[in-house]
A = this chain, B = another copy of it.
Amino acid sequence: MFTITPTARHRRSPYYEATVAAGVTGFSTYNKMLLPSGYGDPEGEYWRLIKGVQQWDVAAQRQVQLTGPDAARLAQILAPRDLSKCVEGRGKYVALCDHNGTLLNDPVLLKLADDRFWFSIADSDMLYWARAIAAERGLSVTVDEPDVSPLAVQGPLAEDVIASIFGDWIRDLKLFWFRETEIGGIPVILARSGWSKQGGFELYLMDGSKGMALWNIVREAGRSWDIGPGSPNHIERIESGLLSWGGDTDDRTNPFEVRMERYVDLDLPDSVIGAKALRQISASGPARWQLGVILEGEKPYETNGVWAEISANGVFVGHMTNLTWSRRMGHNIGFALISRQCASGDVLEIALPSGLVSGTLTELPFL
């Protein structure tokens, strides 16, 4: 148990004071911001996400905004997914890759207008990446970070809470659809999205001075459903097979290795970054893939946030990139980033800090 040292290098969220008032006990950092990681009751927080509703400070999902005549063009250059039919008010999960097809980030792209897009990014400096490409290609586009801070409301009761605030129209929003609205004079974009599979919404607050106010509106509205504070949940996201870029990927991971093939279009022009390389990788076959692994043992193993080596008959075949005790499955589970020689059903050895443990490969998600 180590403390985190405050520094001006790590920006605080507009919800920071609200999370402290709510009893936050730990932080991670994400996109050079403080990201709340727990409120002192891991078991209660897990079950509230599975059965009830939580509010999460996820302002660290920073936005990279493209504005101007070439905004759509730049979005398509950056994302190897066909965006030609992308319409206003819809988001798309995309794989930002470098010229070699290596995955640099897995944001949700929001189309706000024909000349305005946001990438809601994972934990890497895509603002600079997008600026480099825009400038080198001489595009007429501004790349900057708007004053936007997502607040997630997640869990099976999230829809009732959000409907009580904004009205029943929100029930018709499909996954990744969004609409610009306001509550009590606070401007937000309301999207059906969030980094869990328990259902929910994200409120993209568009005025950083209103963090506490928006947090409190959600908390008060949620009282009837026993809402509580939470954070991106390590256990649930592993059970649900959600990717953590930078956690489950390394510096040579391509989208095909981490189940993102359905978000990659192979017939895009070569001007799209990575398009050519991704066609080659797809043709020759990626080296690894991502599967689940269910470990033997009836009690939680100690985890330390470090990848564990996996071997088959003593030969290295890949890594287990995360590990958790699934409360619903009653098993230790994790993701394997592993040779395509291995397949679901294989029994392998995982080198945990406590020693070698046997595990069985399975398809993702677990639940």
Contacts and interface: CB of A to CB of B under 8 A. Distances in A.
Interface in A21-72: 24-30, 32, 37-38
Contacts of A99: 131, 135
Contacts of A128: 98, 104, 124-125, 128-129
Contact of A124 (B2, B4, B125, B132): B125
A145 interface: yes
A28 B4 contact: yes
Contacts of A28: 4-5, 7, 9-10
A3 interface: yes
A173 to B, nearest CB: 30
Given A5-B27, A5-B28, A136-B137, 19 more contacts: A2-B3, A2-B4, A2-B24, A2-B26, A2-B27, A3-B25, A4-B4, A8-B246, A8-B306, A8-B321, A9-B244, A32-B246, A98-B131, A99-B135, A124-B128, A125-B128, A132-B133, A132-B136, A133-B136
B2 A247 contact: no
Main SS of chain A's interface residues?
loop
B1 A3 contact: yes
A354 interface: no
Contacts of A131: 98-99
A256 B38 CA distance: 41
A88 interface: no
A307 B123 contact: no
Given A125-B125, A132-B136, A136-B133, A247 B5 contact: no
Contact of A9 (B6, B38, B246): B246
Nearest to A96: B128
A305 B6 contact: yes
Contacts of A144: 251
A322 interface: yes
Of A5, A129, A304, the most chain B CB neighbours within 10 A belong to A5
Contact of A3 (B4, B123, B246, B322): B4
19 contacts: A1-B3, A3-B3, A5-B38, A8-B246, A8-B305, A8-B306, A9-B247, A10-B305, A12-B306, A29-B29, A98-B128, A98-B131, A98-B132, A99-B131, A99-B135, A128-B128, A132-B133, A132-B136, A144-B251
A32 B123 contact: yes
Contacts of A30: 9
A29 to B, nearest CB: 4
A6 B132 contact: no
Contact of A145 (B7, B26, B251): B251
Nearest to A245: B9
Contacts of A247: 7-9
Nearest to A105: B128
B26 A5 contact: yes
